[in-house]
Structure formats: C-alpha cells, structure tokens
A and B are shown apart, each in its own frame.
Chain A
Amino acid sequence: MRRNVAIISVGYNGRFVSKRPDISIVEMLEAAVRNALSKTKLKPHEIDAFVVGNMHTFEGVNMGHLWASEHIFALNKPVMRIATGGTTGMSVFHCAYYHVASGLYDVVCAIGWEKHDEGDAQIGLGGILLPEVFSLAHFGPDFSGRRGAGLGLMGGGGGSTGGASFQAASYLAKSGGGIEHIDMAAALMRANAAKNPYAHLQVPDCKPEDIAKTPIISWPLRYGHTCPTSCGACAVIIVAEEKVKKYAETEKVAWVKGVACGTSDVTVGNVHDGQITDPADQEMCKIVAMKAYKKAGIKNPRKEIQVAEVYDGFAHQVLLWPERLLLVDDGASPKLIEQGYYNIDGELPVNPSGGVTSTNAIGASALVRVAEAALQVMGIAEGGHQVPKKVKNALAHGWGGLFQFNTVTILGDTPVKK
C-alpha cells in the first residue's frame, strides 16, 4: 500500500531568464537533471523511471521527452508525460509520487520545463479559448504568417492577463483591498526574487512605489504585477523511504506528507443556475487544501505550516491564495501584507523564492513551488531566501487550467506515521 516518499534533491538548469539561444530544450533538461543528481549519491542509471511535463503548445515541440531520452538519462527507462496547464509541474510531481507510493519504483525523477523563447506563449494561451483558430495558426497552411496570427490571437484570447484581471477586480472588491496592496505584493515578490539566485526578475529592495509607476494593462493589473515568460527547467528526485539513507547525500530530506488535486469547471464568467461563477471564489482550492491537510495529518494549518509557495502568476494572487488555502482569514491579506506578515522574516512567509510573479517557465512553475518548499524544509535555500525559522511543514500550491485546477503538496521534516 502507500509508502512514504521523500524528496532528496532539487536541481535547476541555471538562473531562469527570458532567452537562452545558446542551448536547446533537451540541453536545458540535461543541465537540470545533472544538477539534481550532483547533490545525491545516485548514479544516472539508478533512476528507475521519469515523469516529465511542459506545455508543449507554447514551444511547438510535441512530446519533447521523446527527443530528450538520452539527455535526461531515460534511455531504456519508463517515461510518463503529464500536462495539465499551469499545474503541469505539480501534476508531474504527483504522478512521480504515485510512481513510488504505489510500490512500483524506488527512485523517480520529475522534470518540468518551459523554453518560452522558442515559441509564443500567448498563442498557446489563446488556444485555450479558441481552439479552431489555434489549430489554424499552428497547423494550417500559412506557416509564414504565424507571427501575425499569433498577434491576432493575443487580441482575441487576451492571453491570461485578461482573465486574471477579472479575478483581481473581484478579489479587491471582496477583500476591500486596493491596487496599492497588489503593488505591495509585487514589490515583495521582486525583492524576494533578488535573494534567490535562480529567480528571473530580481529587483533588490523593490518598493511598492516602483511598481506603481508601471502602466495599467488590464485594470486593476499593472505591467509590474505580471509574470515574465522565462526559460528554465527544474528536476526533483524522489525516493522511497527504504532508499533514503542509500541515496540522499545528507540527512536533510523533505518528506511528501500529502498530495491533493482538484478540478472545477472553467470559471471565467460561466453561468451556472443563473449565477455567474466568480473566478476569485476558488472554492475548489479550499477543498483541495483540506484534502491535503487531512492526508498530511495537519489539524491546524495556521499553526503547523511555516512557509507557503503559492502559484501567483499575477501579484494579486499572493494575497488570494493564502486565504483560499485556509492559512489566513478570508479577506485578511491586504491588512497582513501591510504588516509584513508574508515577508521572509514574517509570521507566514509566502513565496520567499519570489514566486511565479518573478519567474514563470510555465511547465516548471508548479514543480518549482514543490522544489522551493523542499529547499525550505531542508533548510538549504540559497542566497538569503531561507526563512529564519525551523520549517516543520511547508505548503506548495499549483494553479492552472482556465481558473479551475488546484494542486497542493504538503512537505515536512518527518514522514507521516502509518
């Protein structure tokens, strides 16, 4: 039956950046896997299986793992590919967890990546809403006009900022916060990112006033509230309890205590029974969080969770998710961010890594949340973004689809008792 599973190592290909014209997708993956392996006693051939994922419509390579087989050391090994939109990274991680928890394999490597400079993420995002036009743009006869078609789609689908602004506006209305609170959240993320050597948009000592200077692109979201499109890969190695001593380099490992995922229907103004569903409600996130807490044996998350890594594609979600994950009261975030509650040295540090607002390689982002939570539990986060207290439990959260997928992973410094 269920076995205990631990993360023994986390690897990145390097700092996440806008463009990596010097390497191909597979070389990027190789760098991440090598980096993760270098922090273990594992040899490449000792990995039993791989779980990989990215949003391949963003970079135009279908099933990139086929091309990457030797690069990720997966030659003659089982490889499973998972993709679920923004949650891809964590869905990959969950799949890797089930690989080990089911008793089938002992050592599994989870890899998430995105190389945004090779495609147009907004074409891909437009494809959520407009599949026919997307098909035409991608597969239709006019390949030369692809760039132009992409720009047309950005107008049509609006990318993700259009949808997110509904959520942000609704959130502000409900919580009583203002744009200044989103500015604060964005500034916190940029400043945290400066302490994370792998983060993309690093702005040391970023102030809310700096963010407030950027223009509004879709009210109430400013340019400074949005995430960059990054290139990067993340690899996480997990092993069964019996193999931890054999393969982990140090005693510091992060135990996977509970994983949960939940889906609801697309919620951008959908009408159900005469009511328009509110993208800021995220009722499913609460249900998923409760499921994960239950599996992890956590009774009072507000006391027992020391740090949270949430999926904040846009800065207002730094405020939204801690509430929906039941870590603070509904509507409390604007006040709390004013008090510095979410700072690295605050009561509940949220995204000490800088979050998705500062680094977004989409297929990797949710896996990076798990990886960063693991680093916090292990106490080895580099560059000053380690929280200055003992982390017993950390929460990682992923969000995606069309405002509908939520994934939660709880990591801890001790395994759950069976």
Chain B
Amino acid sequence: MKRRVAIVGYKLIKNTKASVWTRERIYYELSRALLEELEITRDKVDTFIFGSNDFADGRTISECYLIQRIGAHMKDESKVEQEALNACVYAWMRIQSGEYDTAMIGMVSLASSQFKPLLVQNHVLDPVYERPRGLINYYSAAAFQARAYMERFKNFTESHIARYAEKGYRNALKNQYSLQVIPPSLEKIENSEPIYLPIRELEVAPYADGGGVVLLASEEKAKKLTKKPVWIDGFASIEDTYWIGERDLVKLDGLREAGKRAYKMAGIKNPEKEISFAEIQTFFASEEPIIAEALGLFDEGSGAEVIEKGLSEINGKLPVNPSGGSFGGNPMGGTSLLGLINAVKQLRGEADDFQVKNPKRALVHAQDGVCAQQNTVMILSTGGEK
C-alpha cells in the first residue's frame, strides 16, 4: 500500500561567515540549479516546504519574499518552523497521501551574519521563570549535560571533548562546502576561552550562513528523475519535557524513543551493525558521544574509547559526522538539512574527500530546544536490498 519516497536531488551553498548573497538570491540560484540538473521545470514540482524559523530569519512570516525565489508561486506551500529535517518529514507525508508526487524542501539561514544567535536562541526559554533569570541557556545547559556525562563515566575528561571538536574541524576541512577554517590544534582547543566549563569556545560549533534545497519524489517519479535515488526508509520525531531538571541529560529518553521508532519503521534491528554512518546535529562537541550512544550506535559510556580508538572517524567502524557536521559551519535551523544533504552525498558516492567506504544506510539526526529536547531521526538507504 505504501509508496516509497526518495530524495532525487540536492543543491547547497558553501557555508560562509557572512554571505554576500541575500537569502532571496540563494534560494533562486539553488532551486534553479537543481531544476536544471534534473532537467525539469518548476511545473513538475507539486509542493514546496520551507524549514525555517522566523526568529532565526529575523523576519515575520519569513517565507513571504522567498515564494517566487524558490519557485513556489501558484503552488501549495507550507513552512515547518523546526529544524529543517522536519520539513523533509512533512514532504514525505504529503507525497505519501497520494495528493502530490514531488516536493521541494528548502532552508537558508543567514543567522551568522545577521545578529547574535544566542539572543535568538534564548527566546525558546519560557518567559515566566527561566528567561528572566538568565541562568539557563543553550550553553549553560550543554555544560550541565557534559558535566553529567563526565560524572557518570569517569574516564571521559575535558580533553576528550576537545578531541571530538578536533575531529569535527578535521573532517570539515575535507568538505568543500564547509567553512574551511584551518583546524585548530588539540592544544589550542583545550586552552580556548572557557564559556561555561567544561564547554570552551572552540568546542562550540561555529555559526555560519548557509543552506540548501532538496527534491523529494514518489517511487515512480524518482526512477524517472534520477539513476541514484536515495530512499527514506524510516523516521520519527519525539518531544521530551521542556524542563532540563526533569530529563536525564545523559540518557536522552526522547531521543532514544525517536531512534527506536525510526529503526522500527526502517526495519533495523541492530543499528550498530546496520547503519553505515551517521550525520547527527550537535551544537557542542560534548553532545556527540551522548547523542550517538542514545541512538544505539555505540555502547553507553564509550565516549572516551570511541574517540581514542578512532571508531567514529571517516574510516572507522561507524563514522559519525564524516562531513564535519556543524563544525563545518552551523547555519542555525538548517544544520540538519546539510546533514541530510551530506548523507545523500555519501550514499550516492559523491562525497569526494570525506567519502565513507561503500555506505548502505545512513542515519540523519536533528534536534530542537535546549539539550536536544525534541529530536528527529531519519534513516536513508540506497535501497539495494529492499
């Protein structure tokens, strides 16, 4: 009964500190390039979903002026105001309903050059108790989380957090579309300015201007449009409680549930073996082991071991963020779309210098809220074995 839905094409821009193009121009160039590559006109795209956020965009109804730029005029359009991976989920639903065959999703964020991201992020805090006090924010909560992990697993130290950041920078340099900063040395990361200890300045993913567009299609259409479709096998999104005091920040129950549901939908029994690589969304280097473990990719408490033995390196047992993830630039709200695009690149064998060897299945992860309150997990595959 179910139709299969595939990703048939993508386009993205290189992350920069300050884009010289406007958001409108970027959408126009990207969507046009994608349509040209697939040799179709915009008439063949049935629906458009934006994945952006008015706060991150600094504009009310931020897609107002983007409609014609992406080519959505006279079409059915909507906007998911969450991490952009959720727009992909909505596009899947629209195609699955049988009312549409193709859908374009887009996210372009200029958060890095427009204003201070922290100020925007703090608007997710409840205005009654937490925001006025100024104690809880993304940074301080991440420090709590990292500290909790260090307390629970004593072999994990501050220097391991730095090593995770170093891996991110190093991988990102191989990715042509990343910020392309010279990777700082481990020593430099370890001695960078403390923000909220144990989080240091260089362990925070650098903000960037960036974004991309992706075209989804139903099975019949996908096979006509591309020789290399990447199939969406499963996904799930789960919201945990808002109050970080009521969450186990190391266990991340919501994320576990999301992972479990996505694996079930994709028919995955043993994620550690069946997932070839993962693109997870982190704002801080310390999040990587916590999220990877909650997703069942590594044993619990193995954070120190994984980075020491290089298990999550590009050529490791289970590469995590081979593209560098958000350490190659974090366009707020669009990071997960870049994760999705980088996973598609890998599965299509187009990842050049950061290509993972012969990947079959990928995991893409997105998070919203303080300390990954809301998580979305998506499983992609080349579809060979199905």
Interfacial residues, chain A to chain B (CB-CB below 8 A):
1-2, 24, 26, 53, 55-58, 60-63, 65-70, 74-85, 91, 94-95, 98-99, 101-104, 118, 124-128, 131-132, 134-135, 138-140, 260-266, 284, 287, 295, 400-402, 404-405
A400 CA to B79 CA, complexed, in Å: 13
25 pairs from A and B in contact (CB 8 Å cutoff): A55-B61, A62-B120, A62-B123, A62-B124, A66-B374, A69-B240, A70-B241, A76-B257, A79-B374, A84-B79, A91-B79, A95-B78, A102-B93, A102-B94, A104-B96, A128-B64, A262-B77, A263-B72, A263-B73, A263-B76, A263-B77, A264-B67, A265-B67, A287-B74, A401-B67
Q: Given A79-B237, A124-B60, A66 and B72 touching (CB < 8 A)?
A: no
Binding site secondary structure of chain A: mixed
Closest Cβ of chain A: how far from B283's Cβ, in Å? 15
Taking CB atoms, residues of chain B closer than 8 Å to A118 are 127
B28 within 8 Å of A (CB atoms): no
Least distance between B281 CB and chain A CB atoms (Å): 15
Whether the Cβ atoms of B78 and A94 lie closer than 8 Å is yes
**B126 part of interface (Cβ distance < 8 Å):** yes
A80 to B238, CA, bound (A): 10
CB closest residue in chain A, given B68: A265
For B58, what are the chain A residues with a Cβ–Cβ distance below 8 Å? 127, 131-132, 134-135, 138-139
Check B2 for interface membership: any CB of A closer than 8 A: yes
Give B344-386 as 1s and 0s: 1 = Cβ < 8 Å from A's Cβ atoms.
Answer: 0000000000000000000000001100011000000000000
**Complex-state Cα separation, A159 to B93, whole angstroms:** 35
- Is the CB–CB distance between A263 and B60 below 8 Å? no
Partner of A65, one of B72, B239, B254: B239
Contact A139 B119 (CB under 8 A): yes
Nearest-neighbour CB distance to chain A for B15, whole angstroms, equals 21
Task: Give Cα A321–Cα B221 distance, bound, in whole angstroms.
Answer: 36
- The smallest C-beta distance from B97 to any residue of chain A, in angstroms, reads 4
Interchain CB contact under 8 A, A128 and B59: yes
A285 CB to nearest chain B CB (Å) = 12
Give the residues from 68 to 102 in chain B that come closer than 8 angstroms, CB to CB, to chain A: 68, 72-82, 86, 89-90, 92-94, 96-99
Whether the pair A264, B74 counts as a contact (CB closer than 8 A) is: yes
Which of A63, A75, A104, A402 is B64 in contact with, Cβ under 8 Å? A402
State whether A84 and B97 are in contact (beta carbons under 8 Å apart), knowing that A264-B67, A265-B67 are contacts in the complex.
no
The answer to whether B369 and A84 touch across the interface, beta carbons within 8 angstroms, is: no
B253 at the interface (CB under 8 A from A): yes
B3 CB–A CB distance under 8 Å = yes
For the complex, is B128 an interface residue (Cβ under 8 Å from A)? Answer: yes
Contacts of A124 in B (CB 8 A): 60
User: Which of A60, A61, A260 is in CB contact (< 8 Å) with B76?
Assistant: A260
Tell me if B373 and A66 are in contact (CB < 8 A): yes
4 additional contacts (CB under 8 A) given A66-B368, A76-B240, A284-B74:
A55-B54, A67-B125, A69-B239, A127-B59
Cβ-closest chain B residue relative to A133: B58
Contact B75 A63 (CB under 8 A): no
The chain A residue with its CB closest to the CB of B56 is: A62
Please, how many angstroms separate the alpha-carbon atoms of A336 and B198 in the complex? Answer: 70
In the complex, B156 has a CB within 8 A of chain A: no
B99 to chain A, nearest CB (A): 6
Given A1-B3, A2-B99, A265-B73, A84:B63 Cβ within 8 A:
yes
Whether A125 touches B64, Cβ cut-off 8 Å, given contacts A76-B239, A103-B96, A264-B74, is no
CA distance A262 to B67 in the complex (A): 10
For A123, the closest partner residue in chain B by CB is B60
For residue B254, which residues in chain A have a CB less than 8 angstroms away from its CB? 76
User: Given the known A-B contacts A77-B238, A132-B58, are A262 and B80 also in contact in the complex, defined by CB atoms under 8 Å?
Assistant: no
In the complex with contacts A1-B98, A76-B239, A76-B253, A104-B93 CB distance below 8 A: yes
- Cα–Cα, bound, A125→B115 (Å): 20
- Contact indicator A1/B73 (Cβ below 8 Å): no
- B73 and A84 form a contact (CB under 8 A): no
- In the assembled complex, the CB of B347 is this many whole angstroms from the nearest CB of chain A, namely 23
Which residue of chain B lies nearest to A130 when distances are taken between CB atoms in the complex?
A: B59
Give the distance in Å from the alpha carbon of A368 to the alpha carbon of B126 in the complex: 26
Using Cβ atoms and an 8 Å threshold, which residues of chain B touch A53?
Answer: 81
- Name the distance in Å between B233's Cβ and chain A's nearest Cβ: 14
Asked if A402 and B96 make an inter-chain contact with CB atoms under 8 angstroms apart, the answer reads no
A26 to B374, alpha carbons, bound, how many Å? 17
Residues of A within 8 A of B20 (CB): none
Assess whether B177 is interfacial by the CB under 8 Å rule: no
Residues from chain B with Cβ under 8 Å of A84 in the complex? 61, 63, 77-79
A70, B127: Cα distance in complex, Å: 17
Contact B64 A56 (CB under 8 A): no
Complex CA distance for A82 and B124, rounded to whole angstroms: 16
B235 to A: closest C-beta gap in Å: 9
CB-based nearest A residue for B98: A1
On whether the beta carbons of A63 and B124 are closer than 8 Å, the reply is yes
Cβ-closest chain A residue relative to B62: A131
Are the C-beta atoms of A139 and B54 separated by less than 8 Å? no
